């Protein structure tokens, strides 16, 4: 029952508070730690593939060790002092590691700028939430990129963190977010990170293998709840969910593309170089600004379905433990 209440509280914290820019935020701390470790370790490893691979592995190990120590020990001490202190801090901490509200707010800025005819403002707002180059994107490309970001982060920022919180508590959730943050900062196929970021990218692939697939299925199941096409979502999900170099990234994008009846993916420009990516979904109509709102509704509905499943699973596990006498 405690785990179910913690899940609900974390969702409520995110819904009410989100990610206040002026308050300390664990993901920003993780990002600062990763950047510091990279600056510190790079000069100590030779700039050859083998040296950079080992440097990246040490960075991953150092990041996970620091995050574990900085979360597990304080939470353990708080729980020894007061259960309610532990619960309150855990709920706020876990809520800050969820991203549905911030994802809606940031992507809605793109939608609002597009609807106002402000393409330059839309490109700028988009540049805050994507890694691709945005300066030359037209209106449809901007809307498509925002929809892709919402769809992909439905797993990374919403459903996967909920699953890790349900299974492993706040510490497990923090370790997952550390892995995800390392991948977002280092996991690029560029000369700088091709070897240095490989350990982070592969660990992220492993951590997201099950959540990505479950997330795609949950978005398909959630589509009719927000007035979208569930049958087409399932069809495109099953057909296109592996249309990406990453084994995990296309699952939620495929479900979202099918639910909306649009085509996502295709070539994109990163750091001045074109990256050829497969298309996902069918171009039944052009992507429009309002699809960002529809994608957010689908992401929220999928997250709520995951929250419900996790809470039911937590309660059921407690019942089993009580009946079997497991401490």
Backbone phi and psi for residue 271, each to the nearest 5 degrees, phi listed first: 50, 40
Q: What pLDDT does 325 receive? A: 62
Q: 287 is in which domain, residue-wise?
A: 2-324
Q: Where are the alpha helices (DSSP H) in 223-249?
A: 230-240
Three-class DSSP category at 86: helix
Mean pLDDT of 93-97: 95
Name the region of 272 (left: φ>0; alpha: ψ -120 to 50; beta: rest). left
Give the chain's radius of gyration (CA, Å): 20
Nearest-CA neighbor of 307 among 154, 122, 147? 154
pLDDT higher than 60, residue 272 = no
Ranking 8-17, 91-100, 134-143, 313-322 by mean pLDDT, the lowest is 313-322
Query: What are the CA-CA distances from residue 251 to residues 121, 146, 196, 225, 264 (Å)?
Result: 30, 16, 26, 19, 12
* Average pLDDT for 295-308: 97
The single-letter DSSP state of residue 42 is: G
Percent of the chain with pLDDT over 90: 75
Per-residue pLDDT band at 269 (split at 50, 70, 90): low
Query: How many domains is the chain built from?
Result: 1
DSSP 281: E
Q: Which residue has the higher pLDDT, 138 or 81?
A: 81
Q: Which of 78-92, 132-146, 170-184, 230-244 has the lowest mean pLDDT?
A: 132-146
Residue 202 has pLDDT above 90, yes or no: yes
For residue 161, pLDDT beyond 90: yes
Asked whether the predicted pLDDT for residue 49 surpasses 70, the reply is yes
The pTM of the full predicted model, rounded to 2 decimals, is 0.92
């Amino acid at each position: 029952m405690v785990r179910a209440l913690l899940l609900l509280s974390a969702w409520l914290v995110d819904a009410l508070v989100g990610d206040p820019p002026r308050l300390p935020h664990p993901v920003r701390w993780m990002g600062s730690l990763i950047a510091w470790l990279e600056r510190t370790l790079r000069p100590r490893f030779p700039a050859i593939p083998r040296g950079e691979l080992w440097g990246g592995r040490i960075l991953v190990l150092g990041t996970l060790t620091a995050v574990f120590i900085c979360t597990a020990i304080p939470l353990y001490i708080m729980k020894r002092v007061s259960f309610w202190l532990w619960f309150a801090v855990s709920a706020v901490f876990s809520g800050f590691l969820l991203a549905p509200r911030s994802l809606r707010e940031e992507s809605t800025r793109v939608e609002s700028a597009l609807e106002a005819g402000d393409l330059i403002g839309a490109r700028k707002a988009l540049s805050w939430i994507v890694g691709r180059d945005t300066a030359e994107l037209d209106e449809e490309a901007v809307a498509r990129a925002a929809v892709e970001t919402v769809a992909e982060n439905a797993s990374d920022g919403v459903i996967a963190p909920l699953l890790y919180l349900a299974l492993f508590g706040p510490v497990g959730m923090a370790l997952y977010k550390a892995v995800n943050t390392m991948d977002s900062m280092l996991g690029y196929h560029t000369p700088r990170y091709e070897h240095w970021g490989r350990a982070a990218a592969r660990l992220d692939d492993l951590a997201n293998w099950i959540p990505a697939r479950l997330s795609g299925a949950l978005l398909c199941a959630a589509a009719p709840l927000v007035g979208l096409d569930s049958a087409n979502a399932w069809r495109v999900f099953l057909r296109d969910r592996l249309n990406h170099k990453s084994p995990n990234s296309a699952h939620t994008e495929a479900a979202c593309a099918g639910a909306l009846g649009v085509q996502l993916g295709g070539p994109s420009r990163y750091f001045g170089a074109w990256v050829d990516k497969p298309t996902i979904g069918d171009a039944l109509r052009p992507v429009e600004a309002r699809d960002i709102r529809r994608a957010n509704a689908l992401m929220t509905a999928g997250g709520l379905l995951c929250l419900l499943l996790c809470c039911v699973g937590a309660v059921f596990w407690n019942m089993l433990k009580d009946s079997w006498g497991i401490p």
